[in-house]
Amino acid sequence: MEFLWPGFLLLLALVPVLVGLYIWMLRRRRFAVRYSSLELVRAALPKKSNWRRHLPVVLFLLGLTSLIFALGRPVAILNVPTNQTTIILTMDVSGSMRSTDIQPSRLQAAEEAAFSFIQHQKSNTQIGLVAFSSFAELIQPATTDQAALQAALDSLTVGRRTAIGSGILVALDAISQVDKNVARSITDTQPGVEPTPVPKGDYAPDIIVLLTDGDNNAGPDPISAAQQAADRGVRVYTIGFGTVNGPNTSQSPFGFGNFPGGGSGFFNGGGRPRMGLNEPMLKQIASMTGGTYHLASSASQLEGVFAGLPTYLIIKHEVLEISVLFTAFGALLAGIAILLSLIWRPLP
């Protein structure tokens, strides 16, 4: 349970203060009048059980506590299955995706696995495609047209450098075009006011599947971009792709032999790029948004990762404010407390 106005919970400090005041009043009443024979006075008083004396006060304090909780505007997160699902495939097309350590190449293996994934989705699932290298671009807006998605995958070409943060932000904007409950991203070129973060555990029915074979070396900070996704309730599932030591057959435009492109960023003898995945970063992106991280070092493993993504039954998390329940419960307890006080200790 979360609270939209948690500041009002500070009023709960009044409860122990009132308990202390009640105890002080009982002790003060006990010693307010002195008698020569206290036993005679007790014998003259009508017998009353202690629980009758204290029950109205206890009920009143419980009612007050419930009313204070109501002021904090408590909300409950409900899990609701939904058919309105949008999946944005966000794919790295940096130069290292030309590497042939995974046949026929990392990029082609990723394209084939992605299209196999698309074919296994429900007909009403909307899927879009974002590609990123030194910048990110929406190649195909979310659609149910598998032929259009196939054409978009076939059109991918490699660039240089790896802007993972840009990929996440462009994917968020692609989702916001379909789901009006998801605000667009905020960047230097696209200013705006950040939306109020969704309550913890509240997720949109839309997800981002981000595939990369390298570390971020261009564009905005990926963690900041992931925070924007988390604030909007959009989960990001990250996939690290490639082998530890993979040959790269892409030729340098300057005629100096092979180069790793933007994905690896450094060589490992003889022009062979070492795997430059920043796995801690990819794991952090997934964790902070509610997604998961997966590592694939072959085409079959990548197909298995895609097949295991939780897209067949997407759960929409809806926020339900339940302050009215706390208000009604608090008012009921307070009313019972007053009624019992009048019955057991009627006014003169």
Do 285 and 330 lie in a common domain? no
Share of the chain above pLDDT 70, in %: 78
Do 176 and 240 lie in a common domain? yes
Report the DSSP beta bridge partners of residue 295.
240
Q: How many CA atoms lie within 13 A of 86 on its CB side?
A: 24
d(CA 163, CA 107): 16
Q: Which two tokens stand for residue 15?
A: 């409860």
Do 133 and 222 lie in a common domain? yes
Banded model confidence at residue 264, pLDDT cuts 50, 70, 90: very low
Residues 260-273, mean pLDDT to the nearest whole number: 38
Do 63 and 116 lie in a common domain? no
Residue 268 above 60 pLDDT? Answer: no
Residue 28 above 80 pLDDT? Answer: no
pLDDT for 166-211, tens place per residue?
A: 999 999 999 999 988 899 999 888 888 888 888 777 788 889 999 9
Do 121 and 270 lie in a common domain? yes
Number of H helices, E strands in the chain: 11, 9
The vertex-159 CA angle with 243 and 189, nearest 5°, equals 120
Instruction: Name residues whose C-beta falls within 8 Å of residue 299's C-beta, 6 or more positions apart in sequence.
Output: 102, 103, 109, 112, 113
Do 107 and 239 lie in a common domain? yes
Lowest mean pLDDT among 47-56, 76-85, 239-248: 76-85
pLDDT for 286-343, tens place per residue?
A: 999 999 999 998 899 999 999 888 765 455 556 678 888 889 998 999 889 888 888 8
Q: Which residue has the higher pLDDT, 24 or 269?
A: 24
Do 152 and 22 lie in a common domain? no
Do 64 and 93 lie in a common domain? no
* Nearest Cα residue to 246 out of 225, 228, 278, 269: 269
Cβ atoms of 75 and 4 within 8 Å: the answer is yes
Q: How many CA atoms lie within 13 A of 166 on its CB side?
A: 22
The vertex-148 CA angle with 146 and 151, nearest 5°, equals 110
Q: Which two tokens stand for residue 9?
A: 């919970």
Cβ atoms of 237 and 307 within 8 Å: the answer is no
Do 200 and 303 lie in a common domain? yes
Q: Which residue has the higher pLDDT, 310 or 213?
A: 213
CATH number, domain with residue 176? 3.40.50.410
Q: Which range marks the domain in which residue 227 is found?
A: 83-313
Residue 5, judged by CB atoms within 10 A of its CB (0-12, 13-18, 19+), counts as exposed
pLDDT for 141-162, tens place per residue?
A: 999 999 999 999 999 999 889 9
Cβ count within 10 A of residue 216: 24
Lowest mean pLDDT among 3-7, 21-25, 78-82, 149-153: 78-82
Do 205 and 292 lie in a common domain? yes
Banded model confidence at residue 8, pLDDT cuts 50, 70, 90: confident
Do 22 and 55 lie in a common domain? yes
Do 10 and 139 lie in a common domain? no
Share of the chain above pLDDT 90, in %: 37
Q: Which two tokens stand for residue 100?
A: 């042939």
Q: Is the pTM for the entire model greater than 0.75? A: no
pLDDT for 93-129, tens place per residue?
A: 998 888 888 888 999 999 999 999 999 888 888 999 9
Cβ count within 10 A of residue 250: 18
* Structure confidence at residue 318 (pLDDT): 62
Number of domains in the chain: 2
Instruction: Name residues whose C-beta falls within 8 Å of residue 179's C-beta, 6 or more positions apart in sequence.
Output: 84, 86, 204, 205, 206
Residue-averaged pLDDT of the chain: 81
